[in-house]
Amino acid sequence: MRSSNGLDSLSSFSCASFSASSSSFLGQVYALLGMENIADEADPDGFGFPQLASEYVVSSDPDLIFLADSSMGVTPDSLAERPGWAEMTAVQGGAVAILDEYLSNIRQVEQQLDRMETRLSTITGTPEAPLGLPEAFDDHMTVTYDLMHLAFQGDISRVFTFMIGHEASDRGYAHIGIPETHHSISHHGNDAEKLAKYAKIGTYQIIKFGEFLDKLKATPDGDGNLLDNSLLYWGSGMSNGNAHDRSNPPAVLVGGAHGRLKGNRHVEAKKDEPTANLLLAMAHLAGTEIESLGASTGRLDL
């Protein structure tokens, strides 16, 4: 790729020199950075991951190389052993970056999106809900969490919000054995069967969140991992959906906040203390010195 200041680069995915053109998600990220992709000329059909001849790469002489195949034994040193590669600007200048995990995650998300589009294209006419909806929703959950993981990993964004469903959601969860809508189950009337289904929906949602946390924990970041250096709030707008009670909703804070938050604790808030007090405390953990936030009456002691 060539940036506005004259830099060009190559993303290498395998020993066979597969790369990422501007038709791929990664290539689009490079384009946002003002880079010109040397793989674009080799991808006239927009496949996204063309195979480049070694001679083509050498003649293009990229200034930067992003390497995504070190797990297969390809390293900056082994690149220098390829005919002509040792004389390339990127290799001589040590500008070969290893991006194995990041690029693999990006490709996984792209494949998930492709599968979702393929499945939707097979549905003709106007099917009655929930045809295809339960599986698609699970995929939507997974791919959204994966995109947030990538955003953190690539430092594309440091803040996000994700609403799984609004309070009056009519979404069913047939893929976990609950075809009834979430909203109707939340009005359980203390019925044992409905309470069990309500708990099963909550369990499913927290499992998906847990999968996301596992990916953050497995991703190195500085001296620790992404979970160590993040702060995530998981909760709801109500404490009791059956009674539409918004007082004292439970909340889970996960992550070390770069050493600013002590974990493995149960913090009891004052009766009817607004959630805004918690959000204000989180803002202070993030280094934002503000005195109030929304309906806050003070700052929760974390």
On whether both 259 and 118 belong to a single domain, the answer is yes
Instruction: Please give the tally of structural domains in the chain.
Output: 2
Range from 3-17, 114-128, 134-148, 193-207 that averages highest in pLDDT: 193-207
On whether both 109 and 78 belong to a single domain, the answer is no
On whether both 41 and 77 belong to a single domain, the answer is yes
Cβ neighbours of residue 47 closer than 8 Å, sequence gap 6 or more: 21, 23
Domain that holds residue 127: 102-285
User: What tokens were used for 62?
Assistant: 């990229």
Q: What is the pLDDT of residue 2?
A: 37
On whether both 17 and 135 belong to a single domain, the answer is no
On whether both 91 and 158 belong to a single domain, the answer is no
Q: Residue 130: which pLDDT band, with cuts at 50, 70 and 90?
A: very low
**Stronger pLDDT, 68 or 138, i.e. the higher one:** 138
Q: What is the pLDDT of residue 72?
A: 59
241 falls within a domain: yes
Whole-number average pLDDT of the chain? 81
On whether both 176 and 215 belong to a single domain, the answer is yes
Q: Residue 213: which pLDDT band, with cuts at 50, 70 and 90?
A: very high
On whether both 53 and 127 belong to a single domain, the answer is no
Q: 231 near 261, Cβ under 8 Å?
A: yes
Q: Report strand pairing: 220-221 vs 224-225.
A: antiparallel
Instruction: Say if residue 122's pLDDT is above 60.
Output: no
Q: What is the pLDDT of residue 6?
A: 44
Mean pLDDT of 198-220: 93
DSSP 184: H
Mean pLDDT of 58-74: 76
* HSE-up of residue 168 (Cα within 13 Å, Cβ side): 0
Mean pLDDT of 36-61: 87
Q: What is the CATH number of the domain that holds 90?
A: 3.40.50.1980
Give the position of tokens 């099917």. Answer: 127
Question: Which of 208, 141, 138 is CA-nearest to residue 174?
Answer: 138
CA distance from start to end of the chain: 46
On whether both 142 and 210 belong to a single domain, the answer is yes
On whether both 215 and 159 belong to a single domain, the answer is yes
Mean pLDDT of 223-245: 88
Domain end point (choices 70, 98, 126): 98
On whether both 227 and 116 belong to a single domain, the answer is yes
On whether both 73 and 111 belong to a single domain, the answer is no
296 falls within a domain: no
Q: Residue 8: which pLDDT band, with cuts at 50, 70 and 90?
A: low
Q: What is the pLDDT of residues 165-200, one digit of tens each?
A: 876 777 888 889 999 988 889 889 999 999 999 999
55 falls within a domain: yes
Alpha helices (H) along the chain: 25-32, 54-60, 76-80, 89-92, 100-121, 133-153, 182-186, 192-217, 275-285
